[in-house]
Amino acid sequence: MYSKISTFGRITILLGKQQAATGERMSPRRLAEKAGVPKDFVYRLDAGEARHVDLDALARLCAALHCDLQDILVWEHDHGESI
* CATH code at position 40: 1.10.260.40
What's this model's pTM, rounded to 2 decimal places? Answer: 0.85
14 domain-assigned: yes
User: What are the backbone angles phi and psi of residue 7, rounded to the nearest 5°?
Assistant: -125, 0
pLDDT score recorded for residue 8: 95
pLDDT score recorded for residue 26: 94
Rg over CA atoms, the chain? 13
Q: What's the total number of domains in the chain? A: 1
| Dist CA 31 CA 36 (whole Å) | 8
82 domain-assigned: no
**Domain coverage including residue 35:** 3-77
pLDDT score recorded for residue 78: 72
83 domain-assigned: no
| Dist CA 1 CA 36 (whole Å) | 37
18 domain-assigned: yes
pLDDT score recorded for residue 77: 80
| pLDDT, mean of each 10-residue run, the chain (83 residues) | 87 96 94 97 96 94 96 82 55
